[in-house]
Structure 1
């Protein structure tokens, strides 16, 4: 089991690196071909759309089919699509339409891997080690969020898009091999009735998954409140580039310092989260994390200086990691093992849906009449802080505060 845990962590690390390479390779190539920043941005946005749409169905597949096979299949498909992108990039006249199609297909594969991975963690990792595994994944995500933009763009600039995309393909192949070598612990197998009979129950199982989510009140409230917290965060984060570079007129290094502080804070939060989970009730950690996040957003509203913003965003990074690790661990403990894929997918879809909404709302605040109250920086952080304060108060008053007392459900209630 220990060796399987190492392989699972390694597979997550390698495939996450591949995701980051892809995240910059496709937009970079499209920018080189078209010279249009809007066209490049569209390729980047494509990453989020499948999580909102495809991700809902993906959770059902992850609960009905063998999760190990799903992960291997996703990595193999990602490997093949990345090879096609590398071939297109090496062509004399790359097809932009084909690049968009490949970018979308690659983005559509990853939502299937996410719920399968969440379920596979439950299948393979002992319950007492769940917080450590979640802390590892959060540390990897935070570290890549910190160094990914710099290293990813430098990597592509050094190797070129075709070779960088080929390396991207190899990361998915390595991930598939690592998952393949993990001992098979799941009993989910394709039914004898065949694929058609299996797919006919997808809609029924999705509805059943929503009922399960509603029946576990702390998880239901947590899903809603996590989405609201994500909205508050992206009110600011979606507009930081404009605020710092355009409104404040600061150099790019100032923007880098803010995001670097957030990344370092997130890594620190992921490191300490398992220790906090061992010592304190999860509901209390979630409430405290939400309150700490509200405080971090309020600080720049009081003193809108770039140094304060960087310090506040470091605190925000700590709070976010503690919340994420605590939430994932509690959800994996309380939700039935055969429904974790659907619950994880619905939660991820809700969270991703708030990204464009929060960013657009923040942009409206910056450009609207409210900005005249005390300047766009102060006004934006104040609005985000007010939303996050409401989220923290709702967490303290909702069933989410008692999620550590919820009785784990070993089977899927009401599932046919």
Structure 2
């Protein structure tokens, strides 16, 4: 793997364990807990909306409000995170998110909770999350050694797996108690834990910056231009903008299909948790996959798994069998994410890291909410089967494009893997 600006790059043979890094343990554990909390409320938002309104479209709209801020915030988040103290950005975002999710049960108990309130909370949550995630991803490369990036990214996939495993299951169980208020209380507690762990980290989250600054828009463009000149990043971001029209809607698809099959909130949580089980196993096995597959080959294999597994959502006769599809997709995902994200993080200079990561995420920032709205409309007007099969066609086309794109097929780390 190529070296990046940041912490020292001692040889792999004498590299200490990732878990001997006290600051990384705090960084990872705090993010794990807050991610689980965020996943609990992520499912609770559409569940509560469906309970209040019975409308799949409104549930999709509330979920879309949580992803919509990416479109606007990511234009500035990367440049600002590269200027500001990344650690303080993360802590302020956690404080804001704690206050936001706590307001939901408080307003509900007063008898004045509305869909507009949930939409505003979702919008605020998404705004703060946009800044938090850019600061987190940018700071990670400073917390760990450059030769440990792949291991650190594998642990990020473990976090995603744990989140997918515990979040939905806990959300379904907690939602059944106290009229659906406990998921939001649990999320607030998780953000509070993250604030504490971040405050204990001593390692700087960025290299020292030159005091001279240019116009903000110039710095934003600098990150976008750098990203666009990288053929692998350019191709992946373009393809992901199309894929994001389909994949984020899977939660609403499962909610609708499972409810049509008379699944309880707890059962829906178990279905979602199956994806987390697959993600954890995939994260643990993904380092072995990197021994045999390059970055490009990993992307290619995983995208075809997604394309072939997606139509199975439409043909499962029992709600719990939807969990099998979730497991397959969750298991496959880390085999792409670990090599690709470590590759991306390794080639981006620290001074540009926030801006380039924001530029990459900007491609899906419009597709995510648009895809959720399209999914919700399609579920209400065309039905679940047609919605799922249309999504399958989109995923097959994008997998075929990747198969025909040489820069992606041949992508590999500097060490040839």
Aligned-partner Cα distance in 2 for 1:387–1:293 = 11
Q: Do the aligned partners of 1:334 and 1:406 also contact (CA within 8 Å) in 2?
A: no
Partner of 2:143: 124
- What's the CA shift for 1:317? 2.4
Select 1:57's aligned residue among 76, 81, 104. 76
Secondary structure of the residue aligned to 2:411 is: helix
- What's the CA shift for 1:208? 0.7
Q: Do the aligned partners of 2:97 and 2:188 also contact (CA within 8 Å) in 1?
A: yes
Aligned-partner Cα distance in 2 for 1:210–1:6 = 32
Q: Do the aligned partners of 2:302 and 2:335 also contact (CA within 8 Å) in 1?
A: yes
What CA deviation, in whole Å up to 9, does each residue of 1:208-237 have, x standing for no partner? Answer: 111010122222222223333444545777
What TM-score results when the alignment is normalised by the length of structure 2? 0.77
What is the RMSD of the two structures over their aligned residues, measured on CA atoms?
3.9
Partner of 1:288: 301
Aligned-partner Cα distance in 2 for 1:337–1:127 = 11
Aligned-partner Cα distance in 1 for 2:174–2:158 = 21
Q: Do the aligned partners of 1:330 and 1:403 also contact (CA within 8 Å) in 2?
A: no
- What's the CA shift for 1:403? 3.1
The 1:406/1:400 distance shift into structure 2, 3 A limit, reads farther
The 1:181/1:80 distance shift into structure 2, 3 A limit, reads same
Partner of 2:221: 207
- What's the CA shift for 1:393? 1.0
- What's the CA shift for 1:6? 0.8
Partner of 2:11: none
Select 1:168's aligned residue among 187, 191, 200. 187
Alignment of 1:367-382 (within 5 A): 376=386, 379-380=389-390
Partner of 2:368: 355
- What's the CA shift for 1:112? 0.2
Asked if 1:80 is matched to 2:90, the reply is no
Select 1:177's aligned residue among 196, 210, 215. 196
Select 2:263's aligned residue among 252, 259, 264. 252
What TM-score results when the alignment is normalised by the length of structure 1? 0.77
Alignment of 1:375-390 (within 5 A): 376=386, 379-380=389-390, 383-384=393-394, 386-390=396-400
Partner of 1:404: 412
Partner of 1:414: none
Select 1:341's aligned residue among 354, 357, 373. 354
What is the count of residue pairs matched by the alignment?
Answer: 391
**Gaps spanning 5+ residues in structure 2: where?**
1-19
**Gaps spanning 5+ residues in structure 1: where?**
408-416
Report which stretch shifted further, 345-354 or 263-272.
345-354
Secondary structure of the residue aligned to 1:72 is: helix
Partner of 1:319: 332
What CA deviation, in whole Å up to 9, does each residue of 1:145-203 have, x standing for no partner? Answer: 3442331132244356666544433322221121121123245578878xxxx6x7321
Aligned-partner Cα distance in 1 for 2:310–2:185 = 41
Partner of 1:410: none
